[in-house]
Structure 1
Amino acid sequence: MSARNILVINCGSSSIKFALVNEARTSFSLQGLAERLGSPEAILHWQLGEDKQTRKMPDANHQAALAFILPLAQEVAGGTLDGIGHRVVHGGENFTSASLVDERVLEGIRSSAQLAPLHNPANLIGIEAAMKLFPGLPQVTVFDTAFHQSMPEYAYRYAVPEYLYKEHGVRRYGFHGTSHRYVSQRAAEMTELPVKDSCWLSAHLGNGSSTCAIVNGESRDTSMGLTPLEGLVMGTRSGDVDPNLHSHLARTLGWNLEQIDNMLNRESGLKGLSGLSNDMRTLSEARAAGHAGATLAFDVFCYRLAKSLAGMACALPRLDGLIFTGGIGENSAAARSRTLQFLGLLHLRIDEEANARCVFGVAGEIQSKDSPRILVIPTNEERQIALDTLALLDT
């Protein structure tokens, strides 16, 4: 049987990220991004091998963009697509694994939309558009939250009245599950440990960041909660703050919930602390030049990350290694080094030369001889979604 091709689609509110994944190849046959959809500036970028192309699509919506992307993917795949895998942010408690799209799945995504109002409706648009354009092609949903459904109740429950959980789903769900799952499996492969007998701390670090404790291939705890705002300092998100901050700002500044929500999600994190940027690359350059705000943002980011990882260790029976992934985790040797300075109690120590080598897609181990393993592993959520799609099609 020839190697199969899966198109992976990730629909945002005004964008579509896509990749054509062949099960026998490590690189993508086709990948691209449609952005600013619904506006006069709508544009589609794609890469086929080394060839990069751009197409302006003024006022194109998701369906118009997919009407171009899907036939292109089918052509690149040699005329045959075997399925489409869709990233869906929030599955609530309804989904613990990938699912073939049917009316039950669509309704489950709709019912979870109140938990991810910026993401699930956009994910649905992509699914429904793809179903209209290719009605005979298997469509599979892979949920960011599904991997974390193995957390024990004491890890996912908030200490609030029970009816808020029972009637309104107020609990910790976690996100980045596809990435944490992928890199923990890769870590087991790289260290020749069985996935089902391995224990990892994982740090997915980017504009959105989270940590995860993974035991025998299952999530036991994670830093994000009901929404992606909980947990670490991120690009523009505050991460953990005093829950009473909302009422304090309302009383003292007269802010409403929309203003507070916007501040915590879009004006805080690295951007808010530094007063400069949400991009770690920009902050690293400014820090080297002595910028006080950039230095503070960098140190707070690393300290809060270390604090979260130390807390996640409570969920592990032992520690086989710490994994760094995501844009910052894969590329900022300085952030990795500074974080580990705060983790001496876990005896995690870095080899600075090895650390410096692991950037720009280079995977490897960066611990010193007397330390538990510390690994840098580039994530590949698109490939994991494709593998989950193929596994479901094989059942």
Structure 2
Amino acid sequence: MATGVSAVPAVAPVLVLNSGSSSVKLAVLDPVSGERRVTALAERVGTGEATVRVRRGEQEQAGAPADGSHRGVIKELLAALADELATVAGVGHRVVHGGQRFSSSAVVDDPVLATLRELTGLAPLHLPGNLAGIEAARAELPDRVHVAVFDTAFHSGMPARAYRYAVPAGWYSQHAVRRYGFHGTSHRYVSGRAAELLGRPLASLRMVTVHLGNGCSATAVRDGISVDTTMGMTPLEGLVMGTRSGDVDPGALGYLADRLGKGLAGLLDQLNTRSGLLGLSGISNDMREVQDAAEHGSADAALAVEVFCYRVAKAIGALAVALGRLDAVVFTGGIGEHSATVRSAVLVQLGILGITEDVGANGEDGRRTGGRISGAGSVPVLVVPTDEELLIARDTWELTAEPAR
């Protein structure tokens, strides 16, 4: 495999790598335009049933890797992308948790990697996969700059009143129990894009960004800085999600442990994997399937949609308090971008904030109307497609180019 650095263009492409617990996603893209030169996806990583797909334009190649481990899959994918990697300036890695140590993206060196290993306890389901991806990519591309871009970093500016839990002080000082927030790359990207669409400086705007997908969170962005968000120490807190419960009284865990004879690990597993839309509807974690079932008469599915939308509306109202005033609401994520029904059900509950819906614009997904789906005289409401890979690429390019400046 060719790993030597060739003469790079003025803006070299960046490899973005998202290595999860059981999947690996790669993309080589232009950090300015966002154009994807090639994308790749590996699924069921770590099992004997791993699969890989590489897409260039309309052409796709698929197969099974010889070695289904993270190291084996990444080695095979990088070999398949060798031509595109010849001019890549750096490698950007999505990392789910930076703890209190990382408030911005960071060049990965041995001390940074050691720190990430120390933080594994904060995200035991996600960080091992992130670390495996970083280690494998550094081994295959040792002469490129590797950059860690943290989901939590955008929320590191939250004030203590937003991130501290009302628990014994030692839990925080000795064990770092606090709210961290997640989806930071998405919230950061769409808040900046919303400011462009509104034609206003980001530093003068106060908005609530709402990322709705299988995972869901809402964030209060004040002058470009996250000042509060719905997710907490883990991605389990906050809104109703695909399979995650969102906010639940922790006393319920003690009650159920006694009633069901289950340990904490088993109960947390159910809150993470069997709750949310799936738990309420009994049908699916996919909002499209739940909405379809509701339209065909399922009372449980209808309740799931209602609870989901009510909790989103309530969160927007609460986050408006953190902002002092509300200049915009921004929907993004798979559900936020594509479900006019969900957006409408949320907006109808927000009249108290001066929000009205433009039904026609909302039905067109907002994107054909410059992103705006709100009525005349309303606080602006926008639909902004997220692009976390592009944000990771831009952070990586900036840190890669920095020494040459």
TM range (shorter): over 0.9
Aligned CA RMSD, in angstroms, stands at 1.4
The answer as to 2:325 corresponding to 1:307 is no
CA deviation string 1:117-157 (max 9, x = no partner): 01111100000111111111100000000000000011000
**Aligned to 1:114, what secondary structure does the other structure show?**
helix
Aligned to 1:294: 301
Query: Which residue, 219, 236, 252 being the options, matches 1:245?
Result: 252
Q: Is 1:388 matched up with 2:395?
A: yes
Q: Distance in 2 between matches of 1:187 and 1:138?
A: 30
Q: Quick one: which of 184, 195, 212 aligns to 1:188?
A: 195
* Paired residue secondary structure (2:91): strand
Check the 8 A contact 2:190/2:384 in 1, yes or no.
Answer: yes
| Deviation sequence 1:5-41 (CA, Å, 0-9, x none) | 1000011112101111113433311112101112221
Specify the SS of the correspondent of 1:7: strand
Answer yes or no: is the 8 Å Cα contact 2:367–2:383 preserved in 1: no
Q: Give the TM-score normalised by structure 2.
A: 0.95
TM-score, reference length from structure 1: 0.97
Task: State whether residues 210 and 331 of structure 2, in contact with CA within 8 Å, keep that contact through their aligned partners in structure 1.
Answer: yes
| CA 1:362–1:383: 2 relative to 1, 3 Å | farther
The unaligned stretches of length 5 or more in structure 2 are 1-8
- 1:10 alignment partner, one of 2, 6, 18: 18
Q: How many residues are paired up?
A: 394
- Counterpart in the other structure of 1:284: 291
What's 1:26 paired with? Answer: 34
In structure 2, the residue matched to 1:102 is 109
Q: Which amino acid aligns with 2:295?
A: A
**Secondary structure of 1:171 counterpart:** coil
Cα deviation, 1:292-333, whole Å, max 9, x if unaligned, reads: 111000000000111111111111132110000000000000
> CA separation of 1:58/1:278 partners in 2, compared to 1, >3 Å: closer, same or farther?
farther
| 2:52 alignment counterpart | 44
Q: 2: distance between equivalents of 1:27 and 1:131?
A: 24
Matched, 1:207 2:214: yes
- Sort the Cα spacing of 1:362 and 1:80 in 2 relative to 1 into closer, same or farther, 3 A: farther
Whichever residue aligns with residue 171 of structure 1, its letter is: R
Are positions 1:129 and 2:133 aligned together? no
**Identical amino acids, percent of aligned pairs:** 49
Corresponding residue for 2:351?
A: 344
Q: Distance in 1 between matches of 2:218 and 2:209?
A: 5
Indicate the larger mover: 114-123 or 253-262: 253-262
Structure 1 unaligned blocks of 5 or more: none
Shift of 1:59: 4.7
Output the CA distance in 1 between the equivalents of 2:22 and 2:67: 11
Aligned to 2:181: 174
**What secondary structure sits across from 2:92 in the alignment?**
strand
